[in-house]
A and B are shown apart, each in its own frame.
Chain A
């Protein structure tokens, strides 16, 4: 018995080691340690902090949205972060959305509706580059899933600017030094650069760190809006399976009792 158990354990360990090697390998590039930020959604059972998501949306809307689109989100999705129907309608109506063609064959602008996708800041990628010194601000819809480190990385990036850069580092024209950006030279100027840059309605002090965290949380929700449903369902399903597994094992023992 012990020999066999040991063998199985060794195999399981080897397999999990092999599996861990894969993401580990990918994270190794660049060797920049991303500091761990504590978020409400951390861990296996974490959930979103609605107030934080709403503050994060405010930061996105007032700061990031000037250059970064979120083309996969619709205004109606904001109901998930606790906005009422009326609030969502009001947010949407604050944007002019191009629609058409109308009966005369003309494109026209109208106030946004809840069903509209987030309005994109630029008409196309070329326009975005032209306005940003040749750099393309990436769409932020799934950004936390698209970067090693996720929300931790976004937060680190937003607070990781150093001006002037460390001694001995020359930063190219139009670039900025950032501790956590791969290669350390980023075209984006520090977007969140002074305390009180946005006015939070709930009275939270809008420090650079606070705003950076809030928007990182908001972007995590945007990338994984199903996170809470998923985890809640997972808990129920795994508990069910454990009970079912126990019963099945008992049945197995009973059936096999007479043939051992």
Chain B
């Protein structure tokens, strides 16, 4: 049984969120593992692995309330040092429309591609939004197979490239 919990915090962005949240955890004896924190659409989102004694909610509820953050805690299976190194990168760009992510990721899933990281953003302007997505993942198949499968998505531009991680 893993002793890690996944803590999710989301709320309107403002300076000081990370500092206050992590200090409250630190002072109560909690440790952090892998985390992802990023601003999305004016909100600040935090997902982090935490480990400590007892319940984490009482430690953070006052901070969450003070900062206007929604909090969610799950016990998780898993631990540190479970990284999978990606071997394929997929970049997608297209005039924004519904279904870009769904179409691309459906093709990836069909081919057993495991998405390790996906981030997407809307660039351009309100009148002419452009969807940009970067995916890094692992699949045990020739690049060309994936390339061919992603070649029929019409108006979006998909670029598949290998990731050769350099160890030195």
Chain A partners chain B: no
